[in-house]
Amino acid sequence: MIDWSPSLASTAIFVVGWSAGWWLWLRAKSLPTVMRPSASSLDASPPATTSRPQVSVIVPCRNEAANLPHLMTSLAAALHPGDELIIVDDGSVDETANLARAQGATVLINDVLPAGWAGKPYACWRGAGIASREVLVFLDADVRLGASSLDSLCAVLRQHPNALVSVMPWHRTHGVVERLSMLFNLVSSLVASISPRGTSRRVAYGPCMAVRRDTYMTVGGHAHPLVRAAVVEDLALARVMPDAVALVGRQHEVEYRMYPDGFTQLVEGWTKNTATGAVVIPRVTALLIIAWITSLCGGVVTSPWFYLASLAQLVVMLRRVGNFGPLTAAVYPLHAVFFVAIAAWSAVRSAVVGNVVWRGRRIPTR
């Protein structure tokens, strides 16, 4: 008869890691929802708008013709009269700029990248330079917004007027390959659970960031010497701001679709994010995440009860970060192996080669 009873030491290690995961997950904060009043069915006028500052939405783009129409469709419902939309084309060779103009956006073209700048910070800075509204919202082209998303961002800014407010979008996946992002998305949602005491390990989520224009310009924004050449410009910007608030997006409010071009793109993307993000995670958070990952990897080979406990945990947690579903959660041991493999490859590449590859560009990691 097989004895499925784990040892006391194994149980203690699992419980500590499993509990660490819950603790981090419970501390992660979601973007609050601000409901926009709807128009009466008897009234043909547009819905009444919530009272919020006017917003300049800035979207840096590089070959985003496939994504941009979806973002702009979602913005049509989110923008208020008086808001502005600025698309900065960072050397695209597709129809990105033409699509943006056709939708009525203000379009800037970056033909030459000045020395000492990385592409995305320069695109964001150029967009901010012509923006005239009170609040700046920086969005990646693969983001989709709900009708009240900009209202919600402004509501958080009212509570934290000197902060960089950022949101990790909810991940709408398509297919098995895209669902390999499961643990990466979940870990990303946990890294902001503990607010670091200093500025050097602040966390921000680059796909969706909002900041008051006067605060941004006072610190120098993306032109700040610590930001302009940064590979991970969102984390660099968070460090130079007076305050930073990182939140998790809700389904239908702030969403994105990551790495739709297949396995190679996904591996390159998470290798880059792991290499550049791991070194700035708050130390306590990093230790707790390692303990939790250990419970996933070790528990499944120690006891079927540990497997079931982790499965139940993941089914609950994953609802916050994307449409991964219970079947994806059920094969989490395979995802854990993939996660550890990418983390190891990222560490080796950073230490030995000194760079990672993303979209044909070599990005230095040291």
CATH of the domain at 104: 3.90.550.10
| Contact between residue 247 and residue 167 where contact means Cβ atoms under 8 Å apart | yes
**Is residue 37 scored above 60 in pLDDT?**
no
Q: Which residue has the tokens 């590859």?
A: 357
**Is residue 40 scored above 90 in pLDDT?**
no
Domain that holds residue 295: 8-29+280-349
Residue 359 covered by a domain: no
| Contact between residue 164 and residue 245 where contact means Cβ atoms under 8 Å apart | yes
Residues making up the chain, counted from first to last: 366
Rounded to two decimals, what is the model's pTM? 0.90
Q: Which of 124, 147, 195, 137 is nearest to 167 (CA)?
A: 137
- DSSP H or E segment with residue 306: helix 304-318
Residue 48 covered by a domain: no
- Do 230 and 325 lie in a common domain? no
Query: How high is the pLDDT of residue 175?
Result: 94
Q: DSSP code of 322?
A: B
What average pLDDT is seen over the chain? Answer: 89
* Spatial distance between the Cα atoms of 359 and 366, rounded to a whole number of angstroms: 19
Band of pLDDT at residue 42, cut at 50, 70 and 90:
very low
Residue 365 covered by a domain: no
Band of pLDDT at residue 171, cut at 50, 70 and 90:
very high
Band of pLDDT at residue 302, cut at 50, 70 and 90:
confident
- Do 14 and 87 lie in a common domain? no
- Do 297 and 163 lie in a common domain? no
Query: How high is the pLDDT of residue 353?
Result: 82
DSSP lists the bridge partners of residue 108 as: 88
Distances from the Cα of 52 to the Cαs of 7, 45, 135, in angstroms?
Answer: 57, 20, 10
DSSP lists the bridge partners of residue 136 as: 56, 211
Domain count, the chain: 2
CA angle 80, 85, 89 (to 5 degrees): 165
- DSSP H or E segment with residue 339: helix 332-348
